[in-house]
């Protein structure tokens, strides 16, 4: 790797015309410091003052500079690396997506790098900044909620981006997922059709789970069921978190007929807590999950849930990226794929 930073060669994104990438010298001019100070702020931040670092980073964002850590070693400026950012690997709901995506990319000669955001858009922003210097050929994000700085940096980078597990009216680039609002509405209507009147919700404090929960509560209100109790739980999803959630609901005096959970893991914790209290499921308490994990059909009683085809999402992401890699020029058609979902009615409801 060269000692002196070298600006990456121009890249094209979609149908936009290529333009010269900003250089370290451009950053130095905007920041009002020397190029060597910019280099130190980016690569050895401990040797410069906080004020200088902040001036340099503000200039980096203004001009859209991306430090190319691979410069000098890759003549084609292709890293053959795809970065995948996930909220967590503690929840296997993403496993099928990641496996299908990695299998397809590996077959095509690409390596993958996983980053964990912990459901934090600020942590995602930090990871994106670190990744951009390694010039991945593509970036896969989970969800469509990002900081404004992340959106700006990704737009400036020219790197193909796929947002997954969500839909949005204003995607960054390519989009493969499903509507969490539609899930909430469908679950509400399904449970109302089965005659349930008293509802409660247990949701992780993650944006997609909360959107499903908010949509469910709104749909119930539209049908005259209001004041639905909701417990927002700290990620990641575990059986213990589910048990705590049901315990809190009951200790607050709520007596729901059905508890809707933002994940199968939480729902299985609810089943365990209900059993420990002698509550019959679904006679005393019905339980609904989300994700259709492999264990959902094996617990007692088998768990009603919402199935999302994670493998299909992964395959669509891989296909979208590989097509963009093969044809970066003139790819103006936006890719927006709704993979949908399926309600799975088992004995827990």
pLDDT tens-digit map of 294-317 = 999 999 999 999 999 999 999 999
For residues 322 and 160, the answer to whether their CB atoms sit within 8 Å is no
> Which pLDDT does position 128 carry in this prediction?
96
> Which pLDDT does position 17 carry in this prediction?
44
> Which pLDDT does position 151 carry in this prediction?
96
> Which pLDDT does position 21 carry in this prediction?
79
CA nearest to 93, candidates 343, 296, 345? 296
> Which pLDDT does position 40 carry in this prediction?
86
**Domains in the chain, start-ordered, CATH in brackets?**
76-178+309-339 (3.40.50.2300), 181-307 (3.40.50.2300)
| Ranges in the chain, pLDDT < 70 | 1-19, 68-77, 91, 329-333
Task: Spell out the long-range contacts of 145-151 with Cβ–Cβ below 8 A and sequence spacing 24 or more.
Answer: 145/121, 145/207, 146/121, 146/172, 147/121, 147/122, 149/61, 149/125, 150/121, 150/124, 150/125
Output the pTM of the full model.
0.79
């Amino acid at each position: 790797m060269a000692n002196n930073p070298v600006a990456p060669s121009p890249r094209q994104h979609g149908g936009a015309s290529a333009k010269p990438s900003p250089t370290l010298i451009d950053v130095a001019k905007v920041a009002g410091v020397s190029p060597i100070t910019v280099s130190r702020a980016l690569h050895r931040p401990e040797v410069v003052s906080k004020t200088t670092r902040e001036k340099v980073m503000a200039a980096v964002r203004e001009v859209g500079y991306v430090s190319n850590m691979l410069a000098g070693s890759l003549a084609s400026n292709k890293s053959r690396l795809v970065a995948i950012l996930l909220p967590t690997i503690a929840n296997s709901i993403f496993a099928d997506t990641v496996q299908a995506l990695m299998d397809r990319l590996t077959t095509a000669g690409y390596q993958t790098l996983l980053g964990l955001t912990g459901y934090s858009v600020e942590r995602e922003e930090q990871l994106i900044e670190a990744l951009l210097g390694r010039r991945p050929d593509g970036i896969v994000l989970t969800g469509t909620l990002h900081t404004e700085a992340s959106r700006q940096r990704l737009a400036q980078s020219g790197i193909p981006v796929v947002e997954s597990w969500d839909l949005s009216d204003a995607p960054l680039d390519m989009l493969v997922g499903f509507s969490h609002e539609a899930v909430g509405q469908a679950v509400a209507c399904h449970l109302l059709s089965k005659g349930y009147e008293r509802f409660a919700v247990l949701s992780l404090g993650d944006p997609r789970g909360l959107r499903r929960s908010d949509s469910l509560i709104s749909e119930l209100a539209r049908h005259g069921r209001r004041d639905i109790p909701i417990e927002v739980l700290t990620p990641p999803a575990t059986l213990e978190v589910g048990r705590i959630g049901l315990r809190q609901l009951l200790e607050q005096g709520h007596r729901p007929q059905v508890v809707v959970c933002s994940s199968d893991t939480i729902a299985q914790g609810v089943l365990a807590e209900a059993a420990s209290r002698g509550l019959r499921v679904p006679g005393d308490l019905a339980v609904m999950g989300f994700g259709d994990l492999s264990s959902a059909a094996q617990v007692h009683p088998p768990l009603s849930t919402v199935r999302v085809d994670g493998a299909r999402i992964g395959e669509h992401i891989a296909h979208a990226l590989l097509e963009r890699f093969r044809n970066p020029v003139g790819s103006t058609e936006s890719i927006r794929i709704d993979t949908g979902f399926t309600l799975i009615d088992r004995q827990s409801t």
